[in-house]
Structure 1
Amino acid sequence: MEFPRIHLRRRGPGRGRHARVAPVILGVLLLILMSGCSNAASVSPPRESKSATEPTPVQVDLSTLPAATTFGNTAAAPSDPAPRAATDGVVLHVKQELAVYDAPEGRAIARLPATQFKSPTWLPVTAERGDWARVLLPSRPNGSTGWVRVGTAKVEKARTPYLVTVDVEQRRLVVRKNGREVGSWTVGVGSPGTRTPKGRTFILASIRETVTDFSPIILPLGTHSKTLTSYGGGPGTVAFHGWPDPSVFGTASSDGCVRVPSDALHLLRSLPLGTVVLLR
């Protein structure tokens, strides 16, 4: 497995601010999850934030719904209709737990918590219809989407100018800002038996590693290995992370994660949560 043991810290909404160590029970859960990603690290919050007014709420018993997290399975969620397409950069901040629907005014299929790995929940918006937005979900199956009501105080919208693409076959990662390339690197990808999954996903969280030095930062994505049901007993979350041996860059040798050089990781960690990642 690629991940060492972990200890998690909570990050605040601003860049460079980190919170205290999470309770022991939560720490153990994350230890099982990725065997090595820890301490939520600073990530730039998306900009142009704006709040909305509160309409009459729809009454839903959230406790009966599966959680839309990297640990969860939202089998009833609609699949992403455009898994190779970029978005216009709109991202949604979930400030309070809320319901996810299969369509505007449709059936509630999941619940979205306000945090993911103790980082605030930011999800990319792929479509909008009135007071509803379609977002990518971090749960299995890969490519899950859902509709959330945006005209409430539970959410706010912002915009990120960044887009990350990874050409899995060419083993090339490119970061663009407002359509202009700002960085390009040769990276390592999944081996033939544990391929990096393709599709449209996003930067889910940022975790600071304090136990080992194989990667100072782990950036979990909203997607999972298709061949491994777990990494070290967890849900098999795919991530961006560094690697101490540069010979892995340009090879297909990981368990599905994307191994990146240190300067690429430095840039990636500064991108807003919710930034779209196209794995092609």
Structure 2
Amino acid sequence: MPFDRMSPYRRRAGWIVGAVAVPVLLVAALLIGQALTPRSTAPDDQNAAIADPTPSSVEQSLQESVPPAAPAPDGLPVLDYDPAPRGFPADPATMDTTPLAEGVHPTRRIAAYDAPGGRPLAFVEPTLAGAELTVPIAQRRAGWTAVLLPSANRQLAWLPPGGFDTVALRDQIVVERRAHRLTWYRAGKAVRSWKTSLGQSGQETPLGRTFILGRTPPPEEVYGGVDIYALGSVPDDPEAVPTGLRGAHIGLHTWQNDDELGENTTNGCIRVTRSGQRELLAEVRPGSSLVVVDQLPTPPSTA
């Protein structure tokens, strides 16, 4: 099977690995890049920690008691660039395009559970694959905080109180598969839109909420010389992608040309123009949410 000219990214022993096609030979070559490095030139105020936020979407009552956290065994896996462990719950609002305005940054190793007061399934650390980790908050209940799970699709992890800072997130990215359009929102208002290339048949760009995991340099010139954003999501069907991409993450990046924008030609990644990618890298910090939908609802007519 011909290898598509665009790839997600994966890590081996602390390194991010990409794969790029050789169209003539129809084979994939593994290319090792640097670890994710979450750089941003956006204003410092977007990184400010905020104390005890209680947004209107939070499901939390002051009268509720906080279920205790069961002790976490030392042998639990650590959430990393590899696929997340099984057992975490589905995100019940994965197609919701309401902006997620807060994130969690662990300040130490903390346990992630399958429910408030439930089973510990993995540890979360302050960094993941060399990048400072910030994960968007999806829900609060009974004193616990649910976050989008890294290295998985459409799943949540529940965190008990303590061991993390809460960070303001002002940006969101919405990708519409049918329109092949990416729109950047700030504080709920659309800022810019770009045409995109998305996943080909059988390797479609995964639907649902995810987030920007971190930033890595381009492994090859075909990426247009612009840094790549690796996302928290992975291919829905890892067996459908070329062998060199098994266990890979979905990426947001540019390409050496814009010939295929508006088409389904990638292995699941999201491709934009070089100028668009540079603007997103400069303005949108890692941890910001990204949601992929087939199409946005049509607003009701006001006529």
Normalised by the length of structure 2, the TM-score is 0.75
**What letter matches 1:48 in structure 2?**
A
Equivalent residue number for residue 228 of structure 1: 238
Q: Report sequence identity in percent.
A: 23
Q: CA 1:35–1:199 in structure 2 vs 1: closer, same or farther (change >3 Å)?
A: farther
Q: Give the distance between the partners of 2:213 and 2:146, measured in 1 at CA.
A: 16
**What letter matches 2:206 in structure 1?**
P
Q: Residue 277 of structure 2 aligns to a residue in which SS?
A: helix
Q: Residue 138 of structure 2 aligns to a residue in which SS?
A: strand
Match of 2:108 among 71, 77, 96: 96
Equivalent residue number for residue 26 of structure 1: 14
Q: Quick check: 2:183–2:193 contact (8 Å CA) kept in 1?
A: yes
CA RMSD in angstroms, aligned pairs only: 2.9
Q: CA 1:174–1:26 in structure 2 vs 1: closer, same or farther (change >3 Å)?
A: same
Structure 1, residues 174-193: CA drift from partner, whole Å, max 9, x if none?
Answer: 00111211110001001113
Match of 2:202 among 183, 193, 203: 193
Structure 2 alignment gaps of length 5 or more: 20-29, 53-67, 294-303
Q: CA 1:96–1:35 in structure 2 vs 1: closer, same or farther (change >3 Å)?
A: farther
Structure 1, residues 207-230: CA drift from partner, whole Å, max 9, x if none?
Answer: 122653524211111111113346
Normalised by the length of structure 1, the TM-score is 0.81
1:194 positional shift: 1.2
Match of 2:39 among 28, 42, 50: 42
Q: Residue 31 of structure 1 aligns to a residue in which SS?
A: strand
Q: Give the distance between the partners of 1:4 and 1:80, measured in 2 at CA.
A: 23
1:84 positional shift: 1.1
Q: Give the distance between the partners of 2:141 and 2:76, measured in 1 at CA.
A: 23
Equivalent residue number for residue 291 of structure 2: 278
Structure 1, residues 19-57: CA drift from partner, whole Å, max 9, x if none?
Answer: xxxxx9533xx33798465352513574330468xxxx9
1:113 positional shift: 2.1
Moved more, 65-74 or 263-272: 65-74
Number of aligned positions between the proteins = 256
The answer to whether the aligner puts 1:175 opposite 2:180 as a matched pair is no
Q: How does 1:1-280 map to 2 (within 5 A)?
A: 2-3=6-7, 25-27=13-15, 30-31=16-17, 35=31, 38-39=34-35, 40-43=37-40, 44=42, 46-50=46-50, 60-85=71-96, 86-140=98-152, 142-150=153-161, 152=162, 154-209=163-218, 211-212=220-221, 214-215=223-224, 216-229=226-239, 232-269=244-281, 270-280=283-293
Structure showing greater radius of gyration is 2
1:66 positional shift: 2.8
Q: Quick check: 2:212–2:229 contact (8 Å CA) kept in 1?
A: yes
**What letter matches 2:84 in structure 1?**
N
Q: Give the distance between the partners of 2:69 and 2:112, measured in 1 at CA.
A: 11
Structure 1 alignment gaps of length 5 or more: 9-23
Q: Quick check: 2:221–2:256 contact (8 Å CA) kept in 1?
A: no
